[in-house]
C-alpha cells in the first residue's frame, strides 16, 4: 500500500496518478484511506486504481480503473473505544487475606 499515488505517464502521454491495491485472493474488498479518496475525488481526470488479485499464488493485474471515485464506495467506521456500564457487573469484588476479609477484625 502506498501513502501517495504513483505518478506515471502512459504511452498516450497522459498524466496518471496511480493507486495500486493487492488482494491475496482472486476476489475481495479494497480500501482507500481518507487521503486516497480525497485525491481520487479531486483529481478525477487523472486518478487511476490498479488492482492486483491472487497475490498469494499467481498475481493478476486487473483492467486499470480510471476515475474510481465514480463508484459507490462505502465508508468504514473504525472502533475507537469500547464502553461498559458499571452496573453491568453483578457483584462488587471483596478483597480477602488468608480466608478473612481484608481489614475486618473479627
Q: What is the pLDDT of residues 17-39, one digit of tens each?
A: 999 999 999 999 999 999 999 99
In a domain, 71, yes or no: yes
In a domain, 106, yes or no: no
In a domain, 36, yes or no: yes
In a domain, 20, yes or no: yes
In a domain, 85, yes or no: yes
How many domains would you assign to the chain? 1
In a domain, 46, yes or no: yes
In a domain, 17, yes or no: yes
Quote the DSSP letter at residue 27: S
- Domain extent at residue 61: 6-101
Q: Is the pLDDT of residue 104 over 60?
A: no
User: What pLDDT is attached to residue 13?
Assistant: 74
Amino acid at each position: 500500500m502506498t501513502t501517495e499515488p504513483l505518478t506515471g505517464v502512459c504511452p498516450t502521454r497522459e498524466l496518471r496518478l496511480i493507486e495500486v491495491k493487492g488482494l491475496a485472493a482472486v476476489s475481495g474488498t479494497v480500501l482507500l484511506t481518507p487521503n486516497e479518496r480525497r485525491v481520487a475525488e479531486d483529481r478525477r481526470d487523472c486518478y487511476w486504481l490498479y488492482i492486483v488479485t491472487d497475490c498469494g499464488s499467481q498475481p493478476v493485474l486487473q483492467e486499470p480503473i480510471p476515475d474510481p471515485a465514480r463508484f459507490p464506495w462505502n465508508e468504514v467506521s473504525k472502533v475507537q473505544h469500547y464502553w461498559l456500564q458499571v452496573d453491568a457487573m453483578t457483584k462488587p469484588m471483596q478483597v480477602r487475606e488468608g480466608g478473612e476479609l481484608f481489614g475486618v477484625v473479627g
